[in-house]
Amino acid sequence: TSEQIEHLHRRFKQLSQDQLTIRKENFDSIPDLEFNPIRGKIVHAFFDKRNLRQESDGLADEITFEDFLTIMSYFRPIEMNMDEEQLDRFRKEKLKFLFHMYDSDHDGKITLQEYRNVVEELLSGNPHLEKESARSIADGAMMEAASICVGQMGPDQVYEGITFEDFLKMWQGIDIETKMHVRFLNVDTIAHCY
């Protein structure tokens, strides 16, 4: 809505310190991100050219307000008047955003190493969990992904990684539409996503 865009514009100005663009270091002032274990991935997602719907690959050095709106549009809540086709497109956009967070080398696949990195980051705040345990969790999840996406694999077969199509299969039945959204509370807080 126009009210939400105004809200986001105030937040953009606050983050950019009244500049025309935001740089990665501007995100250092967001208290909610300070202790988030995947803070780096979240910040990168804002500058990932794939999420900015640009033709090129890589990361942007800075983003404009329009870019900021593009990123925040991935977190808009569902609208009651959406038909099935719109809901499907809406869901795929959200999942593509998440997929890009995992696919750090931009090759179109989430490899075991990329998945291990995310799991290790997520669990890094737990002092009782060793790195080897985090790797085992990631390895088990990747084996589960392979069984969902490929089915029974032969002993000499290697699962190369999760493609976006695989990612869609894995998220089937999970209500991403209502979990990955923005709540507008007040200008002093950044949008919350679940």
Q: 5-50: per-residue pLDDT in tens?
A: 999 999 999 999 999 999 999 998 888 888 888 888 989 999 999 9
Q: Which residues have CB under 8 Å from 117's CB, separation 6+?
A: 104
Tell me whether residue 135 is in a domain: yes
Q: What is the domain-level CATH number for residue 59?
A: 1.10.238.10
What confidence score (pLDDT) does residue 178 get? 66
Tell me whether residue 189 is in a domain: no
Dist CA 115 CA 61 (whole Å): 25
What confidence score (pLDDT) does residue 28 get? 87
What confidence score (pLDDT) does residue 181 get? 63
State the burial class of residue 130 (Cβ atoms within 10 Å of its Cβ: 0-12, 13-18, 19+).
exposed
Domain count, the chain: 1
What confidence score (pLDDT) does residue 75 get? 85
Tell me whether residue 188 is in a domain: no
Tell me whether residue 67 is in a domain: yes
Tell me whether residue 34 is in a domain: yes
Tell me whether residue 53 is in a domain: yes
pLDDT exceeds cutoff 50 at 189 = no
Q: Which residue segment(s) compose the domain that 20 sits in?
A: 2-178
What confidence score (pLDDT) does residue 179 get? 66
Percent of the chain with pLDDT over 90: 32
